[in-house]
Chains A and B, each alone.
Chain A
Amino acid sequence: MTLDKAYFDYPHRSYGMDHDRYDWSMLNDRKPVEWPEGKKLALWVNVPLQFFPLNQKGDPFKVPGGMTMPYPDLRHFSLRQYGNRIGIYRFLKAFDQYGVKPTFAMNTRLAETNPYLLNRIVERGDEIACHGYHMDAIHWNGLGNDVENELIKTSLDSLRKLTGQEIKGWLSPAKNESDHTPDLLAAHGIEYFSDWVNDDMPYQFRTSNGELTAMPLTTETEDHFVINGNKHSEDSWVEQVCDAADFLRKEADTQGGRILALNIHPWLMGQPHRIAKLEKALEYITQIDGAWPAYAGEIRNNWISQQ
């Protein structure tokens, strides 16, 4: 019950962060960036294309959105596949209608088992990032360095081969990491990752294999967080996205280019009763004066060229 003396040691109580991954810096102190052609608000629409295995291990936790029922949890398995069969095609129509440039964060296992969908995405020429091997392949310290290294290598090698793209971006399943995930990602040619939601702009993140760019894929306005997690209505989600876009657009007038990052799941917003709400949000944000629809890697490269 009582606490030993170590509970009153504060080994990192000094300037900056309590770890050495990045420097402490406040957003408004940084040099403003300018997006191409004087654009003000980059629109990063990020679409996870996910495979949730029926035989989920749930190690070290059940991935959000994964199986929750005793095996075989057909209801969640099939509802997630709905996104890859139906929802995604509604998304593609909407993206084309509103001029969105989607970045697809794809589980490698899905690419391996769904050649039609893979080819459809590849032929579009949109940017593909790796979303780990599948949704139950969670990166955490319990894997050990060798196993995690092999997991990352397999995920990237296979996805690169299947897509023909270099694959420079990464999003961990559940945005979960081990202490070494960033080091391993950098070793395997990743340039940006989107697991750390601690900023509204990119920043450089130190690893033992050089720097990565941390890209700001906020969780707070993603469909799963707002609609499934907070139980807000679809109309409220649209309102929140549009309010966020307005706020960031206005901030860009005085503080330089901003990014509206929208993470949306085909199995959620691709439902018949929700797709019109997504369309409404996309219509609004793409019509904002100074909006710049762009791929995550494009935003990253443009940002880094100004640092």
Chain B
Amino acid sequence: MKEDPGYFDYWPYENRPKIEWPNGAKVAFWVAPNIEYYELNPPANSQRAPWPTPAPSLPGYTVRDWGNRVGHVRQMELLDKYGIRGSISLSTALCDHHPEIIELCKERDWEFFSHGIYNTRYTYGMTEDQERDMIRDSMETIHKHTGQKCAGYLAPALSHSDNTLDLFAEVGTELFGDEGGIYTCDLFHDDQPTPIHLRSKKKFVSVPYSLEMNDTIAYVVNKIEPRRYGQQIKENFDRLYAEGAESGTIMCIPTHNYQVSYPHRMKAFEEALDYITSHDDVWVTTGREIAEFFLDNYYDASIADISSKQRTA
């Protein structure tokens, strides 16, 4: 085990090269719906129990099923209303279980990125080969069902190994050259994209995917009220929008169809989306578009700037 994963160098949030998003936007805004499949009877993993009570553990299983049966369409229609294309963090087995959802998202030109195969299969304890095979399976599944060359990764249930990011980037290159495996959502250290060190030296970027704005963190971990969540989203946006005048920032709302889509929570979420999209200088975009724009325009300058900030006095 390491003291520090070594993925990123210290890079202070002052005097960075200015990022200018397309059309002079101050904030790149993206919504990342997690569309997940949790198994009723997953195999055991010695480091993490999938459910808190003996099988069949209905409370957790059934709300997640609710999300796919009921919540997904509610959220999708809301995103449609505000002109937002989702960037889906996908349990790729869902392509097999619920292809109707995949079709609806394809019709809308939403992005699909890998969130593993099932959200009840953890990376903990996998050998490097096992993890590589799992990641490859997930990326091939997305390609087979959607035609998309998977660009991003969020490890299943945020379970990682020391090899996760390297493996994802390497499999992406194997399968799709420079178009696959170019960004990660697994790191929460910044409000702007940052280059990530990999053993392959591949150009690879961390795209901010805010845990603080994540509906599951808000509702299940922090247990806040729906209206307060809506207010936090607006305030998060206000500050990133203001700072974006100096250098472009990123705002992400990661969602789950079994959290944000409940009837008692939709109003607050809608008000927040309405607020954000009513501003002029917002680039409503996807994870891949942000990653590609950064890699094409700011990656090299960022590397140079980060390097200059590592000098000792």
Contact = CB atoms under 8 A, between A and B. Distances in A.
A240 B226 contact: yes
A26 B105 CA distance: 14
B99 A177 contact: no
B262 interface: yes
Given A14-B97, A27-B73, A232-B225, A141 B58 contact: no
A179 B56 contact: yes
A13 interface: yes
A243 B97 contact: no
B121 interface: yes
A6 B43 CA distance: 8
A61 interface: yes
A19 interface: yes
A77 B265 CA distance: 34
B217 to A, nearest CB: 13
Given A15-B99, A18-B40, A220 B63 contact: yes
B78 to A, nearest CB: 11
B203 interface: no
B109 to A, nearest CB: 20
B66 A198 contact: yes
A14 B267 CA distance: 35
A125 to B, nearest CB: 30
Nearest to A141: B54
Contacts of A156: none
Interface in B59-80: 59, 61-63, 65-66, 68-70, 72-73
Interface string B76-94: 0000000000000000010
A7 B127 CA distance: 12
In this complex, the member of B46, B227, B266 whose beta carbon has the largest number of chain A beta carbons within 10 angstroms is B266
B184 to A, nearest CB: 23
Contacts of B179: none
A17 interface: yes
A7 B262 CA distance: 33
A221 B73 CA distance: 20
A15 B97 contact: yes
Nearest to B63: A197
Contacts of A260: 263
Contact of B53 (A176, A179, A247): A176
Contact of A177 (B58, B70, B118, B227): B58
Contact of B69 (A60, A199, A243, A245): A199
Nearest to A241: B264
Contacts of B58: 175-177, 195-197
Contacts of A251: 263
Nearest to B57: A176
B130 interface: yes
Contact of A244 (B133, B134, B262): B262
Main secondary structure of the interface of A (DSSP, over half): loop
A221 B264 contact: yes
A247 B268 CA distance: 11
Given A8-B130, A10-B117, A244-B264, A16 B97 contact: yes
A220 B262 contact: yes
B98 A24 contact: yes
A221 B263 CA distance: 9
Interface in B151-181: none
B93 A13 contact: yes
Interface string B28-62: 00000000010111010110000001111011011
Contacts of B69: 24-27, 198-199
Interface string B233-276: 00000000000000000000000000000111111100000000
A1 interface: yes
B126 A229 contact: no
B54 A236 contact: no
B100 interface: yes
A274 B125 CA distance: 49
A246 interface: yes
In this complex, the member of A220, A229, A231 whose beta carbon has the largest number of chain B beta carbons within 10 angstroms is A220
A219 interface: yes
Nearest to A197: B62
Interface in B271-288: none
Contacts of A240: 225-226, 264-265
A177 B100 contact: no
B45 to A, nearest CB: 7
27 contacts: A2-B126, A3-B126, A3-B130, A6-B43, A9-B43, A13-B117, A18-B40, A19-B41, A24-B69, A25-B69, A26-B70, A27-B70, A29-B100, A61-B53, A141-B54, A176-B58, A195-B58, A197-B58, A197-B59, A198-B69, A199-B66, A240-B225, A243-B226, A244-B264, A245-B263, A247-B264, A247-B266
Given A7-B130, A220-B63, 12 more contacts: A3-B127, A13-B97, A26-B68, A26-B70, A26-B73, A60-B54, A176-B53, A195-B58, A198-B65, A229-B223, A243-B226, A247-B264
The 7 closest A-B pairs by CB, nearest first: A244-B263, A198-B65, A244-B264, A240-B264, A198-B62, A247-B263, A230-B223
